[in-house]
Amino acid sequence: MILAGDVGGTKVHLALYGFEHGQLVHIRDERFPAQEFSGLEEIARRFLTESGNPEITAACFGVPGPVRGGRLRLTNLPWVLDSRELSADLNIAHLFLINDLEANGYGVPELTSEQIYTLNAGDPAAVGNRALVSAGTGLGEGVLVWNGKSHVPMASEGGHCDFAARNELDVELLRYLMQKLGGRVSYERVVSGQGVTNIYTFLRDAKGMEEPSWLRDRMETEDPNAVIGEVGEEGKSELCAKTLEVFASAYGAEAGNMVLKVLATSGLYLGGGIAPKILRTMRDGAFMQAFVDKGRLSELLEHTPVHIILESRAALMGAAAYAEARAAEISGKSVRAASN
């Protein structure tokens, strides 16, 4: 059995996977509030105990940030993760830490057509690199490099690159955020969960868009991003709808930038939790208009397939696939192959 994990700044999502006929089979998963635990080891022990302490042949955790020498210090949690220490403490011989966008990347080949929404068909027969841009709590970016036989995920911290204003509204937004943040503004400050809130407050406070009392009450008592997404998608508030439109446009612009940087002719995949929740906005045109608006290279973007990953467990699937493949390389025994 494979233990897979998706470690975030606020939650840790763990799952158990097996294989049947060469395909991943989901067995069980659970989410844990990260701040309530002393570390990943404690969470993994509880999950495995609740699962009946199954025999684990390999494990992999997707983590936010660069992994160096099997170690990572999390920025949003007081944890230092070390693959060797976790391997020994959990008694799992083959245990790996990889960047969370790498995990998403390894999950892409495991997805079925029902787990993907195609925003732009482009040229589905094109061969080459792929790009992965995931807006959620933060903004993750990755590259799926075509090596002639398969796509190999590579981590990136491109979400922390400088935010590029494209029009007068963007310039005003940039100035607003520079003042609010005391300086530099990255794309993650605009294209992420915090970005949605930043755009909303900018439109309300700097542009004077109306926030009715019923909306203000909901924003104060509920998850602001959930409220903005729900109300904006339903068209019940001009402020929320405009927030989602500006967000989708910035998302499209940076996704197009990523495609150009890595020449992702074989497609762009949008991960993270935001896009599936605002599908109406994503279809309305702001995303694709900004995505293809690349001057002399616009035609390249028009022919690039764009897919939204609907499956919330994509990173877990990728972590499980990676764990099995790496363990098979080391041990010479493939659980996936044996299931055929």
Q: If pLDDT is split at 50, 70 and 90, which confidence band does 77 have?
A: confident
pTM for this model (two decimals): 0.92
Rounded average pLDDT over 311-338: 94
User: Are 44 and 171 in a shared domain?
Assistant: no
In the predicted structure, residue 8 carries a pLDDT above the cut 90: no
How many domains in the chain?
2
41 and 29, same structural domain?
yes
pLDDT tens digits, one per residue of 182-203: 999 999 999 999 999 999 999 9
- Opening angle at CA 30, ends 55 and 327, nearest 5: 35
> Same domain for 248 and 207?
yes
Which residues share a beta bridge with 309? Answer: 116
Q: CATH number of the domain at 81, please.
A: 3.30.420.40
Give the residue with greater pLDDT, 290 vs 157.
290
User: Which residues have C-beta within 8 Å of that of residue 309, sequence separation ≥ 6?
Assistant: 104, 107, 108, 111, 115, 116, 269, 270, 271, 275, 276
Task: Specify the pLDDT at position 75.
Answer: 74
- Average pLDDT of 320-338? 94
Buried b (16+ CB within 10 A) or exposed e, 32-50: bebeebebbeebbeebbee
Which residues constitute the domain of residue 157?
A: 112-310
Instruction: Looking at the structure, tell me whether residues 92 and 136 fall in a common domain.
Output: no
Confirm whether 300 is domain-assigned.
Answer: yes
Instruction: List Cβ neighbours of 336 (8 Å cut-off, separation of 6 or more).
Output: 19, 22, 324, 325, 328
If you search the block for the tokens 């509030």, which residue do you land on? Answer: 33
pLDDT band at 261, cuts 50/70/90? Answer: very high
> What pLDDT was estimated at residue 246?
98
Residues in the chain: 340
Q: Are residues 67 and 127 in the same domain?
A: no
Average pLDDT, the chain: 95
Query: Quick one: tokens of 135?
Result: 């807006």
Q: Per-residue pLDDT tens for 21-61?
A: 999 999 999 999 999 999 999 999 999 999 999 999 999 99
